[in-house]
Amino acid sequence: MISPVIGQNAKRAAVRKALDQHKVYITAQSFSDGTYQARVLVDGEAYWVDEFRLSQLRQGLTPAELELTPAADD
């Protein structure tokens, strides 16, 4: 049986982890010749990414870890 204190600490840790993760917002999508691209906004900066990079961002990796360069203004 899990004690109430351990359970509460686990819940607080989960909330802390969720708040620490960056948010990924898709601002545009493109499908061309069977290729998917999304323009995403992460921490105030826009990037063009493929489906694989998008999934990595959603898993918590940062643009710096993925060596992404910011998108040029359209």
Q: What is the pLDDT of residue 6?
A: 85
Question: How many whole angstroms separate alpha carbon 9 and alpha carbon 27?
Answer: 36
Residue 50 pairs with which residues in a beta bridge?
37
- If one compares 9 and 73, the residue with the highest pLDDT of the two is 9
Q: Would 53 be classed as within a structural domain?
A: yes
Q: Would 13 be classed as within a structural domain?
A: no
Q: Are the beta carbons of 39 and 28 closer than 8 angstroms?
A: yes
Q: Would 56 be classed as within a structural domain?
A: yes
Q: Would 43 be classed as within a structural domain?
A: yes
Structural domain total, the chain: 1
Q: Would 12 be classed as within a structural domain?
A: no
Q: Would 60 be classed as within a structural domain?
A: yes
Question: How many whole angstroms separate alpha carbon 63 and alpha carbon 53?
Answer: 9
Segments forming the whole domain that contains residue 47: 24-74
pLDDT by residue (tens digit) across 6-59? 888 888 888 877 666 778 999 999 999 999 999 999 988 999 999 999 999 998
Q: What is the pLDDT of residue 28?
A: 95
Coil, strand, or helix at residue 24? strand
Question: How many whole angstroms separate alpha carbon 57 and alpha carbon 50?
Answer: 11
In this prediction the pTM is: 0.70
Q: What is the pLDDT of residue 13?
A: 84
Q: Would 6 be classed as within a structural domain?
A: no
Average pLDDT over residues 64-72: 93
Q: Would 65 be classed as within a structural domain?
A: yes
